[in-house]
Each structure stands twice: as C-alpha cells, then as structure tokens.
Amino acid sequence: MMTDDSSDTEQSFISHLIELRDRLLRVLIVVILAIVALFPFSNTLYNYLA
C-alpha cells in the first residue's frame, strides 16, 4: 500500500519534470527564433535603444 502511494507520487514528479523540460525547450526555441529574426535589424535596434 505504501509502495503504491510513493510510486504515484514519483510518477507525478517525473511527469512534472517532463512537462518542465518541454516548456523550457519551447522557450529556448522561441528565443533563438526571435534572435535570428531580429539579427538583420541589430544595428537599427541598437541605435534606437542607445
């Protein structure tokens, strides 16, 4: 009985880690795409911000 509860908790924890990994990968992909998309305008953006 105790083993079943701890296994459910462990599985839930692992599923949360998998979800976190998926979300972090999505964020990383979006950041990389944004950098690539804005790279041609880097001088203009720098002059605007400076």
**Tens of pLDDT, residue by residue, the chain (50 residues):** 455 566 677 779 899 999 999 999 999 999 999 999 999 999 999 999 98
CA end-to-end span of the chain, whole Å?
Answer: 64
pLDDT value of residue 9: 72
pLDDT value of residue 4: 59
| Nearest-5° Cα angle at 36, 33 to 32 | 40
pLDDT value of residue 36: 97
C-alpha pair distances (Å), 6 with each of 2, 12, 13, 39: 6, 10, 10, 49
CA distance 19 to 30: 17
